[in-house]
Amino acid sequence: MNDMMAQVMVFASVLAAAVFAILQTVKAIVSVPKNLVPIIGLIIGLLAGWLGYPFTDLDLVPRLWAGAFAGLSSTGIFELGKNNPGHTK
């Protein structure tokens, strides 16, 4: 079980870069409300995990988990890089 979780995290790390690029492309092409960006990232991540079967020996459910992690982290990666001066409430 521990080995499978390590594989899921490695796969999610690889997928995160691809999902990030796809999400930024979608945002550049289509006007997307900011509150929907994490949901779109999650959907793209799930699709990437589902389509990633040739690249890993993980079953479908762990691949979907990796895709979900990648999709949600791709939104966080962008937020880390943004310059947002000020403080939170």
pLDDT digits (tens, 9 = 90+) for 73-84: 988 766 666 655
Distance CA(3)–CA(76), nearest Å, equals 26
Q: C-alpha distances in angstroms, 88 versus 18, 40, 72?
A: 30, 25, 21
Confidence band of 2 (pLDDT split at 50, 70, 90):
confident
Do residues 68 and 46 lie in contact, with contact meaning Cβ atoms separated by under 8 Å?
yes
Task: Specify the pLDDT at position 85.
Answer: 56
Whole-structure pTM over 0.75, yes or no?
Answer: yes
3-class SS shares of the chain: helix, strand, coil, % to 5: 80, 0, 20
Q: Where are the domains of the chain?
A: 17-81
pLDDT in tens, 47-60: 999 998 888 889 99
pLDDT in tens, 11-58: 999 999 999 999 989 989 998 888 888 899 999 999 999 998 888 889
